[in-house]
Amino acid sequence: MKIAIASSGLGHVARGIETWALDTANALHRKGADVTLFSAGKIESESPLVVLPCIRRRTPLSNLITKLSPPFSWRWGLKSGYGLEQLTFWNHLKKQMNAGKFDILHIQDPMIADLCRKAREKGEVTVKEILAHGTEEPLEFLANFEYLQHLAPWHLEQSLEKLGETQHPIPNTQYPTSNGDKPEARGQRLEVIDHQTNNQIHRSSFSLHRSPHWTAMPNFIDTDLYRPIKNDDEKRAIRSKLGIPENAFVIGTAAAIKKHHKRIDYLIREFAAFSKSSAPAPHSSAPRDDDGIIANRSAFLVIAGSRQTDTEELQTLAEKLCPGQIKFLINHPHEQMPDLLRSYDVFVLTSIFEMMPIALLEAIATGLPVITNNHPVLEWMGGAAGIRPDMSKDSALAETLADITDEEIKERGIAARQHALENYSENAVIRQYLGYYNRII
């Protein structure tokens, strides 16, 4: 079985898609699989690497082509820098798939997966594409795929319900439950009936016979790289290096530093409310101000993520509300994330909805309690490590932070690590990947 993992952004873009491609190819290679990684730039890789040319997004040439292309050319991806990149990357990848006689192409770039699907259905390639869906594509698009990997059971179940399925267990797949129990196996096959859903989606719009080949398999994390802190001395040393107060109660996040979706403005406001709350944080002496209100000066917030258009606005807000208590680590190197996470006491993610954030897996593997919104996917990911207030409401996060205790942090941290080892480790997930590949071919 010959496996191809590909990403048109790998080598020049740092996102979850590119990280997934590199990590997956390396993990499969370590398992002895015949795998090749296809990227758009030279990178260090344990697996065999083939670099393919393409017109990269956000380059002068890409910007010119997208600007001059007629409006209707969006159908071919020419009005988007990312679409143009995927199209030109596929033109070279297609030749590689035929020359190398690959059996499986596993990819998260949606347009490349769709181009491969169309080419296979025309008989131009024989490789079977698996779209690992992590980009919130519409159901009308997803329903075209015969082989589709959802990242969480909830995503699969929601899609099948909308397609009019009466049963939606996951064929021959194991996945963790939301309460931290061991994974349960489900082996029933899917049953399709012919009717319209509440959303008035017609059977004729979709290839419903494809859905028995859909599955749910999570992303995985390197549980050796992302490990718990060894002792307090190690934590203090890391904090000293990063300029984080050594004895503070550190709340941390890892997300694009923006208001939309990641809601960093909400995080800053909630932290500000917490830091002036009537209850001290763990490890805090919590001195009182002149009004007798506890000024929780030993609480500290770290925000690590990529720079966005509104990052400076958020930095200004942080300095206004909590001067000296919030540290921004903009474009913090990914290879330094394991140490950064070990400097945290609690990990927070304030987005209302996520497909499957890698940063949350990294935090769980590090043995951190995780505070997220009460969405089903985030609940499932966090398991017994998770604390899940309704973050659509003001004060929800502040109150949660005020209530957490040292004992709870310790207990949830232990549960987090165990949850990661059982359900999101490389061994657990790659075994599922290989089983899925074998069923497909």
**Does pLDDT of 214 surpass 80?**
yes
**How is 187-204 classified by DSSP, letter by letter?**
-PPP-B-----TT---GG
Same domain, 347 and 435: no
345 lies in some domain: yes
Specify the pLDDT at position 205: 36
Number of compact structural domains in the chain: 2
The residue assigned the tokens 């002036």 is 276
Strands (E), 136-277: 148-150, 173-175, 184-186, 214-216, 249-254
Same domain, 236 and 280: yes
The residue assigned the tokens 């506890």 is 294
Specify the pLDDT at position 309: 93
Q: Which of 30-39, 78-87, 183-192, 260-269 has the lowest mean pLDDT?
A: 183-192
The residue assigned the tokens 């550190």 is 250
- Counting every residue written for the chain, the total comes to 441
Euclidean distance between CA atoms 333 and 50, whole angstroms: 25
Q: Which of 24, 75, 64, 19 is nearest to 46 (CA)?
A: 24
**Does pLDDT of 128 surpass 50?**
yes
Contact yes or no for 45/28 (Cβ under 8 A): no
200 pLDDT tier (thresholds 50, 70, 90): very low
Specify the pLDDT at position 405: 93
Euclidean distance between CA atoms 82 and 98, whole angstroms: 24
Same domain, 177 and 190: yes
Euclidean distance between CA atoms 435 and 258, whole angstroms: 39
Specify the pLDDT at position 136: 81
Question: Tens digit of pLDDT for each residue in 399-412?
Answer: 999 999 999 999 99
**How is 34-83 classified by DSSP, letter by letter?**
EEEEEESS----SS-EEE-----TTSHHHHHHHHHS-GGGGGGTTTSHHH
227 lies in some domain: no
Specify the pLDDT at position 19: 86
323 lies in some domain: yes
109 lies in some domain: yes
**Pure H helices in 56-152:** 60-68, 81-100, 110-121, 139-142
Same domain, 247 and 265: yes
Same domain, 375 and 391: yes
Contact yes or no for 143/402 (Cβ under 8 A): no
**Does pLDDT of 122 surpass 80?**
yes
100: Cβ–Cβ under 8 A, 6 or more apart, which residues?
Answer: 2, 4, 36
Question: Could you report how far apart the first and last alpha carbons of the chain are, in Å?
Answer: 8
Provide mean pLDDT across the span 192-202: 32
Same domain, 169 and 300: no
15 pLDDT tier (thresholds 50, 70, 90): confident
Same domain, 8 and 117: yes
Question: Which range, 78-82, 161-165, 187-191, is most confident?
Answer: 78-82
Specify the pLDDT at position 199: 36
Same domain, 197 and 334: no
294 pLDDT tier (thresholds 50, 70, 90): very low
Same domain, 14 and 131: yes
Euclidean distance between CA atoms 30 and 321, whole angstroms: 48
203 lies in some domain: yes
Question: Tens digit of pLDDT for each residue in 315-330?
Answer: 999 999 999 999 999 9
CATH of residue 103: 3.40.50.2000
**Does pLDDT of 176 surpass 60?**
no
**How is 13-24 classified by DSSP, letter by letter?**
--SHHHHHHHHH
Specify the pLDDT at position 210: 53
Contact yes or no for 116/94 (Cβ under 8 A): yes
Neighbours of 276 (CB within 10 A): 18
Residue 434: CA atoms inside 13 Å, Cβ hemisphere, count? 17
Euclidean distance between CA atoms 33 and 47, whole angstroms: 10
**Which residue range is the domain that position 136 belongs to?**
2-222+426-440
Same domain, 118 and 262: no
207 lies in some domain: yes
Q: Which of 54-68, 161-175, 261-275, 370-384 has the lowest mean pLDDT?
A: 161-175
Specify the pLDDT at position 135: 81
Write down the mean pLDDT value for the chain: 85
Provide mean pLDDT across the span 335-362: 94
Euclidean distance between CA atoms 42 and 12, whole angstroms: 9
282 pLDDT tier (thresholds 50, 70, 90): low
375 lies in some domain: yes
Specify the pLDDT at position 335: 87
Same domain, 193 and 58: yes
Provide the sign of the torsion angle of the four alpha carbons 73, 61, 135, 400, taken in this order: negative
Same domain, 151 and 117: yes
53 lies in some domain: yes
Specify the pLDDT at position 241: 95
Specify the pLDDT at position 187: 30
Neighbours of 2 (CB within 10 A): 16
